[in-house]
Amino acid sequence: MLAPERRTRADIISAVAIATLVVVAALVVWARGDATGTESVTAATPASAPPTADQLPAALHELWHAPDSAATRAVISAGAVITGEGGTVTGRDARTGAEIWRYRRDMPLCGLESQFGQVVAVYKDQRGCSQATLLAGENGDRRTARSSYMDPSIRLSVDGTYMLAQGDKRLEMWRSDLVRTLEYGYVDAPVNVKTQPRKDCTLLSAGSSPSRLAVLEKCPEDATNRLTVLNPAPKDNTVPEEYGSHVLNGLGADSPETRVLAVSDSRIVVYLPGGSQSGGESSPPRLGVYDSNGNPIVVHQLSAPLAANASTVRVGSAYLVFTGNSLIALHATTFDPIWTAPGALGTPAVMAGKLLVPVAGGLAALDPANGAEVQRIPIERPGYDGSPISLAVLGGTVLEQRGGDLYALGG
């Protein structure tokens, strides 16, 4: 019979040391975990969407305002008004501005967007704008999250199916549950580098639709900018599937001001700034329309260059381009310009069947079919700095994002 094993002093010391290491490791994991430094206050009573306005107000005045520097547009979701500032995302009551829910992390916000009644907040850590969180718009419940290498700054946009997160060197497409459907550009996984069609390119601009992703990129081996059209959701999210890739032609095709303005399943619109050569040849700024494979179809001349802060919104089936001082409506199918409204200060929204466009001293209500003004609603904007205004409408409340703040306007 074997003698029973006896614990020695060395055994006890080793056991204590191991237990101490386990506790220290657990504390380190907890301190560095995503839950640490996060505050989530969900709604006691979820927000609900108010009835759609059936008529335009005769006048509007400010109801409240709040800091909102994280988003590039006025954001509403599931009956709540969404603001983002510092590391905090807040769901607010449209009429009072009162907090309905709040989500905060001890990281700065890179961007904020909304689609399908859900809010996507992207935070910056040591890997760039890599921490994305999905929140329920009505109550702030955390639905899911994702993390991946991204650029230090990104631009978020939605197309009704996917969300596009684009940086200067890399972009990703996400489904409504934040699952990645495509990575393009720089990749940090060595095994995936060879799957990318080009490397060392700068991504100038991008836009998407449910079946097309258009990317303007400047590559070292190309004389001018390149337009690449991709599948936003290929079979393998690490292997881009190209429908076409073409180097742009014409004066100004190498300009960093070239950008994607609108993308549908069958057409792509690119802003071409034009330019001149020393020999005297010149070209005006223009809109280039391309097919779903990136082949040129037609070019429309513009009377003036687009401003650096020009942007495009989709309202229903219409695409509307804010040029910096006017609004251009594009045909929903062909992307041909159909009317222009001068004096615009930003992008519009729909209320009671009319397009509300921010203009000096108020809002112009336009007939969406022809751009004719049917009503002018006066608004005071004390301290307005001339920056672009983004509009949204929630029930009878009009929301203006301007100068890093969100303003709620009501009758």
> DSSP assignment of 69-116, as one string?
-S-SS-EEETTEEEEEETTEEEEE-TTT--EEEEEEESS-EEEEEEET
pLDDT surpassing 50 at residue 28? no
Residue range(s) defining the domain that contains residue 231: 38-410
Q: How far is CA 26 from the centre of its chain?
A: 37
pLDDT at 252: 85
What CA–CA distance (Å, rounded) separates 130 from 139?
24
Asked if 324 and 273 count as a contact pair (C-beta separation under 8 A), the reply is no
The answer to the question of residue 18 being in a domain is no
pLDDT surpassing 70 at residue 13? no
Tens digit of each residue's pLDDT (9 = 90 or more) over 345-401: 999 999 999 999 999 999 999 999 999 999 999 999 999 999 999 999 999 999 999
pLDDT surpassing 50 at residue 300? yes
The answer to the question of residue 14 being in a domain is no
The answer to the question of residue 2 being in a domain is no
The answer to the question of residue 222 being in a domain is yes
Q: Give, in order, the Cα–Cα distances in Å from 30 to each of 128, 203, 277.
A: 21, 37, 61
Tens digit of each residue's pLDDT (9 = 90 or more) over 106-145: 999 999 999 999 999 999 999 999 999 999 999 999 999 9
The answer to the question of residue 237 being in a domain is yes
Tokens at 66, concatenated: 């709040």
Domain with residue 376: its CATH number is 2.130.10.10
pLDDT at 26: 46
What CA–CA distance (Å, rounded) separates 248 from 256?
12
pLDDT at 30: 43
Tens digit of each residue's pLDDT (9 = 90 or more) over 240-281: 999 999 999 988 899 999 999 999 999 999 999 988 766 667
Tokens at 37, concatenated: 């430094």
Domain count, the chain: 1
- Size (the chain), residues: 411
The answer to the question of residue 29 being in a domain is no
The answer to the question of residue 201 being in a domain is yes
The answer to the question of residue 10 being in a domain is no
Local confidence band at 19 (pLDDT 50, 70, 90 cut-offs): low
pLDDT at 7: 56
